[in-house]
Amino acid sequence: MNRLIIVIFLICSGISVSGESLYIPELLDGTDAVLKIQEGKLELDGSQSSTLGYNGNYLGPTLRFFQGDWADIKVQNSLKEETTLHWHGMHIPAEFDGGPHQVIPAGGNWNPRFQIRQNAATLWYHPHLMGKTAEQVYKGLAGMIIIEDDFSKNLNIPSDYGVDDIPLILQDRRVDSSGQFRYRPAMPDIMHGYSGNVLLTNGQVYPEIETEGGIIRFRILNGSNSSLMRIRFESGKTFRVIASDGGFLPVSADMDEIILSPGERFELLADFSQKGSDSLICDVLNVGGFKALQIESSGRKKGSMEEVNTNRDFIIPGETDIGEERYFKMETGGMRNFTINSRTMDMKRIDFEVPGGQAEVWTVENVSRGMMQILHSFHVHDVQFRIIDIDGNPPPDHLAGPKDTVFILPGETVRFILNFQDYNGIYMYHCHFLEHEDNGMMGQFEVIQEAG
């Protein structure tokens, strides 16, 4: 794992006291969900911060769908400002993607209708308003999506939501002396990440879960704006990574730490058959280690990872018949100058057209110059891609499955294969470090399916 050694995390012990039991976002049937975007307040250590949420003060409900479902969702924007609602990781018609073009005015409504045409996965939803994504996400607009299908339903793994199948939205926030987390990034924050002094797990500081034991499944989302996170257990316990952004891995991976860049998800299984307590630790790059979750096991239930097999093939249609090959140069030229192929995002410009139904290979390079050692990632809307190689080396197992967001170190080049099927229209690609995205590191392409 050479590539990860380059990233050096500071380890310090977070000053956090565990106590509250973990908040589990309400689970809603996604097909007819009503999401009201509203203002809220979040209590942190006795002080309150103004926040935004879906159907509540902070974050939003978890939406669950089954493959093949038709969704008819009512989104109500009760804010005094515009927003959008993007389904990150979802294969979806462009008009309902919720990108910068689908603005929901202040006080307005939006009614996306689409079919779930993808495999079981952990996705998420968040705003995507041009130039305002970072601020709205920071204030609390984010929620998880769980897609199930026949494959996932028939697996012998935990799937009792909130009990042994635990959603974890990890976010760092910068809380000021009055307890507010205001969004006021200075130049270094924009360049290197708007990192915080507090780590929130589903909106709480170091909450706790109690379990009977056995195997626990965690669905982890790096919901931060621009912080690189490394996840591990305090005990050093090995866990099994079974799924990445878009679903189950072809080959699951036993690991003792894993890195997530903003927007990435991994599902992991860990064995808590032994009585005792452990903590999930989240090391935030350039900041330090935070305790994210305390896990208390009574050890009554025994489990074993031995019979668990979640492996699922992941093949891009048409992999052996590649059409276009495209190159993307991610570059930071200095002050507020974040470009892809030397251009910043322009809503009125389509950067390229993509013929639908044909596999393509995209090469993305993080060009770093001199002092500009800036991390980037690359996220593509509408489809999941398969990484071919990273600096010429095949990806490790946990990066060899369905991905919609890939982290790219300074100087590194990632190649992946993808194929846009079913739908026409305009989709985004961008760096998912939100301050970079809002400062122009985004582009758009139009998918055009062959007629007939």
User: Looking at beta carbons only, is 164 or 382 nearer to Cu ion?
Assistant: 382
Task: Determine if 433 is a binding residue for Cu ion (CB under 5 A).
Answer: yes
Nearest distance in Å: CB 310, ligand C2O: 25
User: Looking at beta carbons only, is 291 or 381 nearer to ligand C2O?
Assistant: 381
> From the list ligand C2O, Cu ion, none, which binds 430 (C-beta under 5 to 8 Å, kind-based)?
ligand C2O
Residue 403 phi/psi, 5-degree rounding, is -130, 145
Nearest distance in Å: CB 127, Cu ion: 11
Nearest distance in Å: CB 338, ligand C2O: 15
User: Looking at beta carbons only, is 263 or 289 nearer to ligand C2O?
Assistant: 263
How is residue 349 written in tokens?
């410009």
Q: Which of residues 347-386 bind Cu ion (CB under 5 A)?
A: 376, 381
Contact of 284 with 199, CB cutoff 8 Å: yes
> From the list Cu ion, ligand C2O, none, which binds 376 (C-beta under 5 to 8 Å, kind-based)?
Cu ion
User: Looking at beta carbons only, is 281 or 431 nearer to ligand C2O?
Assistant: 431
Nearest distance in Å: CB 426, Cu ion: 13
Contact of 104 with 75, CB cutoff 8 Å: yes
* Residues at the interface with ligand C2O (CB under 6 A): 86, 88, 126, 128, 263, 379, 381, 428, 430, 432
Task: Determine if 139 is a binding residue for Cu ion (CB under 5 A).
Answer: no
User: Looking at beta carbons only, is 53 or 263 nearer to ligand C2O?
Assistant: 263
Nearest residue to ligand C2O on Cβ basis? 88
With helix as H, strand as E and coil as C, how does 220-260 read? EEECCCCCCEEEEECCCCCEEEEEECCEEEEEEEEECCEEE
Closest CA to 312 of 177, 119, 116, 23: 119
Nearest distance in Å: CB 381, ligand C2O: 6
User: Looking at beta carbons only, is 119 or 261 nearer to Cu ion?
Assistant: 261
Task: Determine if 431 is a binding residue for Cu ion (CB under 5 A).
Answer: yes
Nearest distance in Å: CB 334, Cu ion: 14
Residue 288: Cβ-neighbour burial (10 angstroms; 0-12, 13-18, 19+) = middle
Closest CA to 427 of 359, 358, 345: 345
Beta-strand (E) ranges in 127-185?
143-148, 165-173
Rounded Cα distance between 279 and 199, Å, is 14
Closest CA to 432 of 260, 183, 204: 260
SS3 (DSSP) at 279: strand
> From the list Cu ion, ligand C2O, none, which binds 263 (C-beta under 5 to 8 Å, kind-based)?
ligand C2O
Instruction: Name the residue type at position 446.
Output: E
Could you list the residues that contact Cu ion (CB under 5 A)? 88, 376, 381, 431, 433, 436
